[in-house]
Amino acid sequence: MKFDIDYVEKLAKVLADNSLTEISLEDGEQAITLRKEVMGVAATPVALPAAQPAAAAPSTSAAPAEVKEVKKGKPLTSPMVGTFYSAPSPDAEPFVKVGQTVKEGDVVCIVEAMKLMNEIEAEFSGKITEICVQDGQPVEFGQVLMYIE
């Protein structure tokens, strides 16, 4: 199933009318995320396979944006709000790199919350296809940290 343009436009209107910065919906193997830049630039919709975020691209025209489909693997999401760290210390090697194979239970990163360092483990085995967060970046609950296929 593909999201039709009328549906995407309605989602963009909900985003704008409710002062939201992001909307994500999932329907089976398809998902869509609409993001609006903080400076108030129009939202750009992008359709992706299940629960994968779309990169926001500025759009200043009222014309519908291009819709893309991409397959990156299963998302590993943050179980809490905090700060993402890719390594156990600033001078250490990252826990994982793109292209590396991990097993279920392997520590892949740390999310610091309230001065506690929480080791985040792979929920399934596979190869890291993308790391979506930079070291030291704040993360939200449910935000995709990386994809594993």
Report phi then psi at 36, rounded to 5.
-120, 135
Question: 49 vs 15, which has greater pLDDT?
Answer: 15
List the chain domain ranges.
1-70, 74-148
CA distances from 33 to 47, 70, 72, 86, 147 (A): 7, 13, 15, 25, 16
Per-residue model confidence as pLDDT tens digits over 75-89: 999 999 999 999 999
Per-residue model confidence as pLDDT tens digits over 110-131: 999 988 999 999 999 999 999 9
Architecture of domain 74-148: Beta Barrel (2.40)
Contact call for residues 124 and 148 (beta carbons, < 8 A): yes
pLDDT at position 9, please?
A: 78
Average pLDDT over residues 125-138: 93
Burial 53-63 (b: 16+ CB within 10 A, else e): bbebeebeeee
Contact call for residues 30 and 47 (beta carbons, < 8 A): yes
Residue 38 binned pLDDT confidence (cut-offs 50, 70, 90): low
Least confident segment among 6-15, 22-31, 42-51: 42-51
Report the alpha-carbon angle 130-131-132, nearest 5: 105
